[in-house]
Amino acid sequence: MTHPRRATTEAALRRGIERGDIRADADIDLLLDLLAASTYHRVLFGHRPVTDQLAHDVVMTVLDGAATPRWRDHYRQQHHA
């Protein structure tokens, strides 16, 4: 059984692939694990808080590796202009 949040995120990643924002060869299961791992680690060990900034940083780090150059260029133009 798949957790609803994982299924929602998987659907979003697949839409990103269909749009050409995420590389077609991206390993969806690995991306899902990477997106969740830091939150679970912080909750489990309690060494640092789970914050909105953490969520943003994790997503941007994962997308830096998984996104297509077209998406990265578009993002940079929109957010660093």
pLDDT tens readout for residues 33-80: 999 999 999 999 999 999 999 999 999 999 999 999 999 898 888 887
**pLDDT greater than 80 at residue 3:** yes
In DSSP terms, which residues pair with 22 in a beta bridge?
67
Q: pLDDT band for 19, please (50, 70, 90 cuts).
A: very high
CATH of 4-79, one of 2.60.40.770, 1.10.357.10, 2.60.60.20, 3.30.1950.10: 1.10.357.10
Distance CA 78, CA 38 (A): 27
Name the DSSP letter for residue 20.
T
CA 51 to chain CA mean position, Å:
15
What is the phi/psi pair of residue 48, to 5°?
Answer: -150, 155
Give 25's DSSP letter: T
Distance CA 80, CA 42 (A): 30
Q: Tell me: pLDDT of 10 over 90.
A: yes
Banded pLDDT at 81 (limits 50, 70, 90): low
